[in-house]
Structure 1
Amino acid sequence: MNSDGRPTLRCLKDDLPNDWESASDNAAAQQSRVDKPLPELGHPIIRKAAADFPAERAVVQPARESISGLSDPVWWKVKIGGRWRGAVWEDPETGQGWLCAAGYRREREASDFYKGFMAAVAAKGPDIFLPTDEDRALLKRELQTHTLDEWSLSLQELVRSAALTHWESFGEAQIDVMHPIATEKEIALVTVTVDRETIDDEVLLEILISIECVDYAHLPLVQWAELVALSAVDRREQRWRSLPIAGVPTHSQVLEGMDVDAVAYSMSQEAIPGLFELGDTAHFAHTGRLVESIIEGEGVKSLCGAFFVPRQDHQDLPKCPHCTAIHNAMSD
């Protein structure tokens, strides 16, 4: 698996001083703290290299021009407008395209990019331009992130489809969750159950989501799948209640009236998997887990059963009446 043509870190820092579309991209490149895939950075020669050397190659390759005089390895020219020029090397083992150097076109001048690049390779060898172990490690992380993102989106769609299929009646669906890379390995089983009733012309809908871990070697991934499954249906984290079912994390919520249609509509909209909306109610929870949960970003179960991540100042939020009643009863 490859990415679109991408710059090396050396090329980013040394060869692209201006013409950036975004000041933030420029600063991130100079400081080696880029938080997006390198082929997506806003610079004309980077975009051109990504377009000319896509991850998914066509059956019929477009005509390319090599840099004459350099054959070990072969370098390919990348041109955009009348200003920027680049040199791309294709890894013969993987086919990954790397923008290893770039500069200005200055026809018939000694400072022309291709003249300078050829002279540097002839004098010092190609290794100073080729991707380093750090470049390859960054590529690996980007590809893994992309794979996880696609896997999360797929799981989100499967959970939404299962819920909406039974939204108007009653039903249960099970989803086999496979490992995002070792795709033949099952790591979890998600069960989505929907029950709908009408009482005195008021629609009540209960939805339960459980996730059973099949392979504990991948527990962190299963825990992430749990968050993706819940947010796929309702992103309001405090609406979910955790049920005391041993060994199988199970969460439920009851929707009433207009909320039934509102949640169904929200499932038809694009959303980032695993992203929840902050709560609007202050809950009571056991103090023994609060500090750890705040630091680690893990969810806790409140006295009323709501599942939430404690990351807000609770002082100005209204207190949950159910938690308050339980807390007061415990105090007596």
Structure 2
Amino acid sequence: MEHNRRARPTLRLLAEDLPTGWEDPDHLRAIAERRWQQLHPVAELPHPLLRKAVELYGSDPLGDPAPRLIKSSGELRLQELRNAQWRAGIWTDPDSGVRWILSAGLAKGGHRDEDDFYQVLERRIGSGATALLPTEHDVLLLKRETAAAALTRWHLTLQSEVAQALDRLGKAASTRIALPHPSKPIAIGTVDIELDVVREDGTPREDFFLTVDLRSEHQVSTWGWRAIERVLISIAPPVQDWDRHGNHYFVMAEPGHRSRQYNRLVAVGGRDETLFAEHGTVSHYTHRSHIAEASVDGKAVRAMCGVVFVPTRDPDRLTVCPRCAENFAALPG
């Protein structure tokens, strides 16, 4: 998996070299407490020096500025980065091509101050340049960010496929989309989407019917379920609205939903954003043993009203579903 080559700070640099200049003090607190996962992705942290580094040393090395070597950087051959009084040294990993910000600081007037960036860098190089290189923890965080970025691109692709399908459903009653694999040039399955616009039975609505056909190896895989979940969220985010029967899914929506949802997907897709699942605002009745198992395993259960949902919230804080309450009251003593 290819990493993004934009300049990124090492964790040592964040903890030691950038004590000031942060636009959000919460980031400084997270750094002080070593809460690195909350700083993901580190290349996008709100510090003027880091922003300048990404601006000049982005994902495409062909866009890098003309080399300006810091003479005192020795074998590391650090490229100089300037932003107001801030200075930094950029190192390119010869194996991955990723640019790392290894050292940073302020350039003091006349270079007479012992805290001057260049003097500090020279002392560090003299003590051992390898201490500035990325650690195993730095590389692990890079791999996690790369995997997260790939997963986001996959979700955006699925969401885009649904947007195109909703557009086609404006002219046809059904359409099919392929579910791409997150890392291989193959499909893990298909989804047939049918739209029935109901106007004459007293309840105008748009009914969506989905038939999912996953390849055998993905019928119980994480990728298979995540792909289905992304498709459902893209069509109708409220997860409690969907009804499931085997590999078939059904949801009713208000008139005009297809057009509105298409426009919504186009808007968020243009910002490289994905829709979030909208969890229900009511609690449902279901079998006690089923709810306990589902809460642990994250599996969906069927409520007495017919809704299929995954229990993730405290039911005592929600209003009881009126249809569930009605069905429960009708049960014999």
Same fold (TM over 0.5): yes
1:320 is matched with 321
2:138 is matched with 135
Residue deviations 1:10-31 (CA, integer Å, cap 9, x gap): 1111111111111111112222
Change (3 A) 1:267 1:67: closer
Once the two structures are TM-superposed, the CA of residue 293 in structure 1 deviates from its matched residue by: 3.1
Q: 1:49 aligns with which of 26, 33, 53?
A: 53
Once the two structures are TM-superposed, the CA of residue 323 in structure 1 deviates from its matched residue by: 2.9
2:169 is matched with 166
Partners of 2:178 and 2:307 in 1: CA distance: 26
Once the two structures are TM-superposed, the CA of residue 89 in structure 1 deviates from its matched residue by: 0.8
2:158 is matched with 155
2:250 is matched with 252
Confirm or deny that 1:65 pairs with 2:68: yes
Confirm or deny that 1:101 pairs with 2:103: yes
Once the two structures are TM-superposed, the CA of residue 221 in structure 1 deviates from its matched residue by: 1.7
Q: Could you tell me whether the CA contact under 8 Å between 2:235 and 2:261 is conserved in 1?
A: yes
Q: Taking every aligned residue pair, what percent have the same amino acid on both sides?
A: 26
Task: Identify the structure with the greater helix proportion.
Answer: 2
Aligned to 2:159, what secondary structure does the other structure show? helix
Change (3 A) 1:65 1:262: closer
Aligned amino acid, residue 192 of structure 1: I
Once the two structures are TM-superposed, the CA of residue 263 in structure 1 deviates from its matched residue by: 4.6
Root mean square deviation, CA, Å: 2.6
- Structure 2: runs of 5+ lacking an equivalent: none
Partners of 1:220 and 1:166 in 2: CA distance: 28
Q: Could you tell me whether the CA contact under 8 Å between 1:213 and 1:219 is conserved in 2?
A: no
Change (3 A) 1:241 1:217: closer
Q: Could you tell me whether the CA contact under 8 Å between 1:163 and 1:194 is conserved in 2?
A: no
Aligned amino acid, residue 228 of structure 1: R
Partners of 1:177 and 1:259 in 2: CA distance: 23
Change (3 A) 1:109 1:168: same
Partners of 1:265 and 1:303 in 2: CA distance: 34
Partners of 2:162 and 2:254 in 1: CA distance: 21
Aligned to 2:306, what secondary structure does the other structure show? coil
Confirm or deny that 1:10 pairs with 2:9: no
1:194 is matched with 195
Q: Could you tell me whether the CA contact under 8 Å between 1:300 and 1:307 is conserved in 2?
A: yes
Once the two structures are TM-superposed, the CA of residue 66 in structure 1 deviates from its matched residue by: 0.7
Aligned amino acid, residue 59 of structure 2: A
1:74 is matched with 77
Q: Could you tell me whether the CA contact under 8 Å between 2:281 and 2:318 is conserved in 1?
A: yes
Aligned amino acid, residue 282 of structure 1: S
Q: Could you tell me whether the CA contact under 8 Å between 2:79 and 2:91 is conserved in 1?
A: yes
Change (3 A) 1:61 1:227: same
Once the two structures are TM-superposed, the CA of residue 325 in structure 1 deviates from its matched residue by: 4.5
